Structure formats: C-alpha cells, structure tokens
Amino acid sequence: MLRGNLSTRPFYNERAVQALLGGLAVVLGLLSLFTVWQFVVLTRQQGELSARIGRDESRAAGLRREAQQVRSRVDAQLLESTVKATREANAVIDQRTFSWTALFNVFERTIPSEVRLRSVTPANDRGVLIVRFTVNTPRVEPVGLFLDRLEAAGAFARLRSVEEQGLEDGSYNVVCEGEYLGPGSQPAAGATAPVTPAQTPAASARAGGD
C-alpha cells in the first residue's frame, strides 16, 4: 500500500496558472504600449496647438500694428467726408424703402374736403423721417383739423404748420411738417365718419395758433 504526504503536493494545475499569468503580462504590456502611444500623440497635438497659437498671436500683433499705422495716416477731413457720404447713402436707402402709396393712403382718408394737397417732400433728419407737405385751402382752420386727424391716425407726430401764404384768389398755401411714423391705423369697418371743420373749434384754434 502506497502512502504519501498530501500536504507537500500542489492541488492546482501549474500549467494553467502559468498560462494565466502569461496572459495577464501580455495584457499589461499592451496597455502600457497604448498608454505610451496616447502620450506621444497628445504631446504632438499640444505642440501643434502651441505653434498655431503662437502664429495667431504674431498675426494679431501684426494686424494691430498695421491698423495703428493706417489710423495715423488717415486724414481727419477725409474721414469726416466718408462718414458724411455714408449718412447720405443711408438716407437714399431709407427713401427707397419709403412707401409713397402708404403715405398718400393716410392723406386720402384724413384730409378734409376743403383742403387740397399740393406737394409732399420726405427727408431724413439724423435718422428721423420728416415729411413736409403743402396744402391749399380757402380757410386755414381746416388745416388744423387735418393735422389733428393725421396724428390721431398714428401716422405722424409733432405736426405743425411752418408757413402760410395768401394767394390772389383768396385761398392759402400752408406748409406743414412733422415726423412720419408709418401708415398708421386703418379705420375700422362701420366707423363714424370724420367730423367736419365746423364741429372742431379746437382744430381751428390750433391752425390759427400755428
């Protein structure tokens, strides 16, 4: 009968353990290689970014120097004339977008029967659209009513008569001007017709005061 001391013999497979340890060593080696490769790539990218930042800063500094040189060479009078030309160009653009149809629609629905429109001149005054118009009327009182209606419609603000001229036929040419705000509000359907000049003594007083 054979007898042996079991405590001196391993109870596991040595080859399996060695294979497992070898596999772990390979995995650790691959991870180390990947880490080194990532470090190299990131270091290279950081160097490229640093070089690009340096080039951009150098270019920005050069542009600032050029701008300073240009500003030092610019003639103040030339700059002022350029600004003036720009404002005139903006005024032309504003006049192109100005709607004559909308303006005359406002006049048509607010002008009293005794008043005749003679001329209309829009102008851009420092960004504010000013409309000057001349009317002909046998009496000056309806002109005040006309101005009240234009402001009540929301089309004008700060309207006033600036000149009155009596004609040989007994009528008057009255020049008015004010800030044009836009077409204004359309009258609602079935709205009450505008009152006549005889019904608005306040309008007559306004025209006479102007």
CA torsion through residues 97, 103, 158, 171, sign? positive
pLDDT band at 138 (very low <50, low <70, confident <90, very high): very high
The DSSP-derived string for 90-136 is HHHHHHHH--HHHHHHHHHHH--TT-EEEEEEEEEETTEEEEEEEEE
Mean pLDDT value across residues 53-74: 81
For residue 3, pLDDT beyond 80: no
Q: Are 179 and 129 in contact (CB under 8 A)?
A: yes
Mean pLDDT value across residues 43-60: 87
Query: What is the predicted pLDDT for the residue at 14?
Result: 77
Could you tell me what percentage of the chain is helix, strand and coil, using 3-state DSSP and rounding each to the nearest 5? 55, 20, 25
Strand-pair partners of 172: 137, 166
The architecture (CATH level 2) of 100-180 comes to 2-Layer Sandwich (3.30)
pLDDT band at 145 (very low <50, low <70, confident <90, very high): very high
Query: What would you measure as the largest C-alpha separation in the chain, in angstroms?
Result: 157
Q: Give the pair of three-digit tokens for residue 9.
A: 């013999």
Within 13 Å, how many C-alpha atoms sit on residue 187's CB side? 15
- Alpha-carbon distance of 104 to 40, in angstroms, equals 76
Amino acid at 49: L
B/e letters for 89-123, b = 16+ CB within 10 Å, e = fewer, are eebeeeeeeeeeeebeebbeebbbebbeeeeeebe
Query: What is the predicted pLDDT for the residue at 181?
Result: 87
pLDDT band at 77 (very low <50, low <70, confident <90, very high): low
For residue 188, pLDDT beyond 50: no
CA 26 to chain centre: 65
- Alpha-carbon distance of 176 to 165, in angstroms, equals 12
Report which listed range, 62-66, 77-81, 95-99, 174-178, is most confident.
Answer: 174-178
